Chain A
C-alpha cells in the first residue's frame, strides 16, 4: 500500500510501494530532501564561509540538472513503475537515477572545464546513496502512516451514522407499517443499503456516482422524518460522476448538514450541493443554514477531521477541505484531483 497510491489502502499488506511520483507532495519531498543532503555535504566539506559558498555552487552544478531530469523521467514513467513489484520498481528507479547521472556527466564535465573520467564513479556513488536514503525515507513514512490509516478507518466507522438517526428512522418506519406498508418497505430497503455501504470494507476508492446514490438513499430516509422541512438542491456536472473519491466522503457531510442545518429550524431549510470539474480538478461544495446557538453540539468537527485526514492520506497536499460561515450559511469546499482510473 502507499499513502500516495490512490486506489487502495491495504492495512494488512506490508506498506511496500513506490511513492506516487506525480503527486506534488512527493515531488516536493524529493527536491527538499536531496537539496538538504547537498547542503549538508557542502557544510561538511567547508572550513570557512567562503569555501561553503563555492562548494555549494559546485555541488549544485552537478546535482540540480540530474535531479530535475530524474524527477521529470519518474513523472513520465510513473504509470509504468506502479505496475512493477516494489523491489523491481526500486531497481528501475535506481537505474533511472544512474542513467541520468551518466548521461549528463560528459556535458557537465565539459562545462566544468574538463574533468577526468574517474569523476563519474564518484557521481554515480553519490546518486546511488541519495536514492537509497530517499527510498528508506519513503519506506519508513509509509510504515508510520499505515497504522494511522487503519485508525482513521475505525474512527470513520464510529463517527458516521449517528444513533440519533438510526433510532429516529426506525421509529418513523414503525409508524408507517400499519398505514402505508409500501413506504415502510421502501424505507427499510434504503436503510439496509445504507448500512451495507457503511459496514463495507471502505479502503478502495469508489466512483463519485456511487457516493452520490448513497447520499440520495440517506436523504430519502431523512425526508421521511423531516418532510417539507428538508429541501435539497443538487447541481451536478455529469462528467464529474466518474471521479474516484474516498468512500463516505460526502455522506457524513450531508448528515452533518441535516443535523446542524435542518433539524434546529422550524421553517424549511435548503441544503445546497454543487459538484463540478474545475481546471481538471474535482470540486465539491456543500452549504446549509447556520444556527449559532446550535454550535455546542459535538460531532461536526469529528466528521470533518476524519474526512480531512482521509483526503490527506489518499491525495497528500493535492486535496484541500475548507469550511467557512458566510452570513447565515455554513459552507464546505473540497477540491481534489480528478481521477477516473485506478
Chain B
C-alpha cells in the first residue's frame, strides 16, 4: 500500500510538533509520511501543491487566512487533498462540520481520534467542493486560480471588476486577468458591498467608482458607463441597474 502524504498547517509551532508526535504514534497502524508543514494558509497552499499531498491537517484559527478559506482554495487543484480541520474551540464551525459531515479534530488532539480520521480520509470518497463553500462563513480574502499545478491567490482588494463570459468569470486586476469557475450571482452574494452589479454580466469594485459618463455602445445606443479610479476602460451600466448604481456616487 502506498504511503499517505500528510501536510500540517498551523500557526503555532508547538501545535505542529504535537501533530507530528501523534502522527508518529499512528505510524504502526497506517502508513503515512509528513510531506511538509506550514505556519499559515498562504504557505500551506504552496506546500500542499508542491508536496502532492493526499491529506491536510489544518487549524481553523490562523492569521492571514482562516483554515476554512484555505480549504476552499485547495479545491481548485486538480487532485485536491482531503481536509481535516483542527480547532481548539469554535462552536459555530464545529456545528457546520457536523451538519455537513466534514471531519475535524479538537485540540488537544487524541491519537486514536487522529487515526480514525486518517483512516476515513484515506478510504472514503472526497468531500464535494460545494461543501467547503457552504461551511465557510466568508467572504474570502482571495480569489484562487489553479495555474500549472499551483494555486495562484489574487487578493480581493486588488480586483477591479468581475465579468461573466460564457463558462467563466474574468477577474480583472491592474496587472492582468484570471479566469475562475464560479457563477457571478454567487460571487455577488459572497462579496455584497465590496462589488456592485452594474450589468447582468458585470460586478465592479464599489470603492473604485469615480463617476459616470454618457457613452454610445456598439449598437449605437446611448447609455451610462462607470468611470473607475485609475482605469481607462469604461464599463456600461444596464438600464435596469442604473437607478441603483447612480446612488452610489455623491
- Taking Cβ atoms with an 8 Å cutoff, the residues of A that contact B are 162-164, 166-168, 170-172, 174-176, 178-179, 224-227, 263-266, 293
Chain B residues within 8 Å of A225, by CB:
12, 14-15
Which stretch of B71-79, B106-114, B165-173, B241-249 is in the interface? Answer: B106-114
Complex CA gap A168/B13 in Å reads: 12
In the complex, the answer to whether B88 meets A175 with C-beta atoms within 8 Å is no
Contact assessment for B21 and A175 in the assembled complex, using a CB-CB cutoff below 8 Å: yes
- Quick check: B108 and A171 within 8 Å, CB to CB? yes
Check if A175 sits within 8 Å of B15, measured CB to CB.
Answer: yes
Q: Is B193 an interface residue (CB 8 A)?
A: no
- Whether, in the assembled complex, B144 has its beta carbon less than 8 Å from a beta carbon of chain A, the answer is no
Closest Cβ of chain A: how far from B40's Cβ, in Å? 6
> Contact: A174 with B88, CB < 8 Å?
no
Closest A residue, CB atoms, query B141: A293
Smallest CB gap from B109: residue in A: A171
Q: How far is the CB of B22 from chain A (nearest CB, A)?
A: 9
Contact of B107 among A167, A176, A226, A293 (CB under 8 A): A167
Q: Which of B12, B61, B64, B141 lies at the interface centre, i.e. has the most chain A CB atoms within 10 A of its CB?
A: B12
- State the majority secondary structure of interface residues on A: helix
Given contacts A168-B107, A263-B63, 15 further A-B contacts (CB under 8 A): A162-B89, A163-B88, A167-B106, A168-B12, A171-B88, A171-B107, A171-B109, A172-B12, A174-B108, A175-B14, A175-B18, A224-B14, A266-B11, A266-B39, A266-B63
The answer to whether A178 and B106 have CB atoms under 8 Å apart is no
- B11 / chain A contacts, CB cutoff of 8 Å: 266
A163 to B141, CA, bound (A): 27
Would you call B100 an interface residue if the criterion is a C-beta within 8 Å of the partner chain's C-beta atoms?
Answer: no
B3 interface contact, C-beta 8 A: no
Please determine whether B61 and A171 come into contact, CB atoms closer than 8 angstroms: no
How far in angstroms is the closest Cβ of chain B from A91?
56
Q: Is the CB of B61 within 8 A of A178?
A: no
Residues of A within 8 A of B108 (CB): 167, 170-171, 174
Q: Once the chains are docked, how many angstroms separate the CA of A162 from the CA of B87?
A: 14
> Considering only CB atoms, which chain A residue lies closest to B91 in the complex?
A163
Residues in B with CB closer than 8 Å to A265 are: 63
CA A53 – CA B58 in complex, angstroms?
A: 78
User: Which residue of chain B lies nearest to A167 when distances are taken between CB atoms in the complex?
Assistant: B88
